[in-house]
Amino acid sequence: MATHSLYSIRPAIIQDDADGIVAVYNASWPESASADRMRESAARRPVGDLYQCLVACDTKDTTDAIIACSEARHAPWMRAGTFSVDLAVAPDWQRQGIGARLYDEQLRWMCAHGATRLEAEAPDHLPAALRFAERRGFAINRHIFDSVLDLMTFDEAPFVGAIARAEADGIRFASLAGFGDSEDAQRKLYAINRAYSLDTPGSDNETFAPFEEWRKFVCGASWYRADGQIVAIDSAQNNDWVGMAAVGIFAEKATAHHMMTGVDRAYRGRGLAQALKLLALRCARRYGAIRVTTNNDSLNAPILAINRKLGYQPQPGHYTLVTVLNK
């Protein structure tokens, strides 16, 4: 690994380095990462996962403080040759070539493992991060908008009619908790989650984790609550599951994250998404969350409109980036 008079680069030891890595990430991506969740993800990494995490450390600091980090990964369900790469440098250490050295190290590793296409992200409020990526051949693929809702001031009264109208139309709402969080219920949730995810603007439209892996990193996650997995069921159509909303609970920050809202194409335009979102907000309140965060693709106009109607406020977002490597 690379060594410089001011810093050295080495492979990360996630259980030991997670706090330092997260501190670097959060300097650019405010409150985007948690050391505990990083350790949790590392412990649940699937068989066949190709993953490398590198850190740059301050050689003049006796604590070996982490000043930059980078992760590269190819999950077993990703398209052949596709890798994701993340990189961040602490603000005081930028423009010293550290990011370039980390990226070069990761690029060599990814190419050695057959990389032909790379995916990355850049905060939309940091032009230097986008320029860094563009100089390395990346181009903007999508723009993701982040937003936050203050639950302390949110008034659900103007929106509750959506639930009543859906129920009058033969739709009933339930959560996985109501089904005992059984494997059968999880499989049904997985099926619609997969379908809606692949039908969302900006989705890969080709890759999604298989059930056992999805179950492990969703249902087995510390943020998972069975009553936060809410489904819409058509009582008149064989009790088909025709919509869903998912909310994760991050108690350490009194925050919930609205992860997914989806409705079958045949049921759209009937207010189901708004009803599901409202039920997810109620769940967040039950767990003491004082705010809810979410993110959506810039092309997902219907969901963005619902979020604005509910009172979500825009936050800095990010670009998804792609480059194809020349062989």
What is the spatial distance between Cα 199 and Cα 276, in angstroms, rounded to a whole number? 18
What is the spatial distance between Cα 142 and Cα 162, in angstroms, rounded to a whole number? 31
Residue segments in the chain with a per-residue pLDDT below the cut of 50: none
Torsion of CA 79, 81, 84, 85, to 10 degrees: 180
Residue pLDDT, tens place only, 99-120: 999 999 999 999 999 999 999 9
What is the spatial distance between Cα 272 and Cα 242, in angstroms, rounded to a whole number? 9
Nearest to 172 by CA among 222, 261, 260, 232: 232
* Six token digits for residue 322: 């792609």
Topology, domain 7-115: Aminopeptidase (3.40.630)
For the beta sheet containing 171-175, the strands, ordered from the edge strand earlier in sequence to the opposite edge, are: 7-11, 50-58, 66-74, 82-89, 117-123, 313-324, 139-150, 291-297, 255-263, 240-250, 229-234, 171-175
* Six token digits for residue 172: 């009933």
Name, in order, each residue with C-beta under 8 angstroms of 164's C-beta and a sequence gap of 6 or more: none
pTM of the predicted model as reported, rounded to 2 decimal places: 0.88
> Within 13 Å and on the Cβ side, how many CA atoms surround 25?
20
What is the spatial distance between Cα 106 and Cα 226, in angstroms, rounded to a whole number? 38
pLDDT of residue 124: 93
Nearest to 197 by CA among 119, 248, 262, 276: 262
Cβ atoms of residues 130 and 316 within 8 Å: no
Q: How far is CA 30 from the centre of its chain?
A: 14
Cβ atoms of residues 56 and 9 within 8 Å: yes
DSSP 8-state class, residue 3:
B
Residue pLDDT, tens place only, 306-324: 999 999 999 989 999 999 9
pLDDT of residue 4: 65
pLDDT of residue 127: 95
> Within 13 Å and on the Cβ side, how many CA atoms surround 325?
17
- Burial (CB < 10 A; 0-12, 13-18, 19+), residue 252, is exposed
Q: Mean pLDDT for the chain?
A: 92
Domain ranges of the chain: 7-115, 147-317
Strands, E assignment, 151-280: 171-175, 229-234, 240-250, 255-263
Is 147-317 a domain of CATH 3.40.630.30?
yes
Cβ atoms of residues 258 and 245 within 8 Å: yes
The SS3 call for residue 72 is strand
pLDDT of residue 6: 85
7-115 shares its CATH topology with 147-317? yes
pLDDT of residue 61: 73
pLDDT of residue 252: 87
